[in-house]
Structure 1
Amino acid sequence: MSPNMQAFLAFLQYFVAALLLLAAFLAVYVRVTPYNEFELIGQNNAAAAISLAGACIGFALPMAAAIYFTHDLLEMIKWAAITGAAQIAVFTLLRRFAPAIEQGHTAPAIFMCAMSVATGVLNAVCMS
């Protein structure tokens, strides 16, 4: 097999695994929150979209770092569990903002987004 094909297959393996892990994280995350972000987003609730976007980015950044630093699928899966738990912990600590987000208030959603992204950045950089 050519080096280009090997590189493409490695890319595909990590990319598909990362997308599946992101989907699994989202499935768990929307069950942990007291509301369904996807339903709220469907109702044009920008606050829910902002909050969920922060959790997605906060999850994806450490996943990117795990792929970059470990080059190992099993390690990536372990880090997915760790970073997913970190994102759920952020939501749990800031849970008091949930009713405001459900009502569409964007200020608490932006704060939640920022805390999720900040946690993801710190999680990612601690892997290096």
Structure 2
Amino acid sequence: MFSQLLGSLSGVLPFIAYFLLAMGLLAIFVRLYTWLTPHHEFALIRAGNPAAATAFGGALIGFALPLSSAISHSLSLIDCAIWGAIALLVQVAAFRVMRLWLTDLSERISRGEMACAILLASTALSVGLLNAACMTY
């Protein structure tokens, strides 16, 4: 029974390593994304702006989806970090493209306009799903 328990716990160290890497990449994504967006997500969310929370939540999930795929399909921590960085860049690029299409996107989110927030969140989720699927090959 003790050997079964040790066998079950053999994956704890890789779990911790990948989880810490994922949390680090998520922190980098949050910092970079909030730095690149003209609106101030955390201040808007603290003020009760649902549009900012919706858009930012979509971006977080849109990044976490391909990051989880990178974790599942990577060969090593370095491989995972590389694909996580690619996921980060793709998600940031998606936001940049949306800003080209809707030039007043940040102002509208700052005003709490949900239509733009839902579109931005949906775009982030869609791009994240496609990004995750592309990482499986």
Moved more, 53-62 or 91-100: 91-100
Identify the residue that residue 91 of structure 2 maps to in structure 1.
87
In structure 2, how many angstroms separate the alpha carbons of the residues matched to 1:47 and 1:53?
Answer: 10
Q: Which amino acid aligns with 1:40?
A: L
Report how far residue 4 of structure 1 moved. Answer: 2.4
In structure 2, how many angstroms separate the alpha carbons of the residues matched to 1:72 and 1:108?
Answer: 38
Report how far residue 119 of structure 1 moved. Answer: 0.3
Q: In structure 1, the residue corresponding to 2:130 is in which secondary structure?
A: helix
Runs of 4+ in 1 over 4 A off after TM superposition: none
Indicate yes or no: 2:31 matched with 1:27: yes
Unaligned runs of 5+ in 1: none
Identify the residue that residue 22 of structure 2 maps to in structure 1.
18
Larger radius of gyration: 2
- Deviations along 1:25-70, one digit per CA (max 9) or x if unpaired, are 0001000000220111000011011111111011000011011111
Identify the residue that residue 66 of structure 1 maps to in structure 2.
70
Q: How many matched pairs?
A: 128
Q: Which amino acid aligns with 1:127?
A: M
Instruction: Provide the TM-score with structure 1 as the length reference.
Output: 0.94
Aligned equivalent of 2:8, options 4, 8, 24: 4
Q: Alignment RMSD, CA only?
A: 1.3
- Deviations along 1:52-91, one digit per CA (max 9) or x if unpaired, are 1111011000011011111421111111211111111111
Unaligned runs of 5+ in 2: none
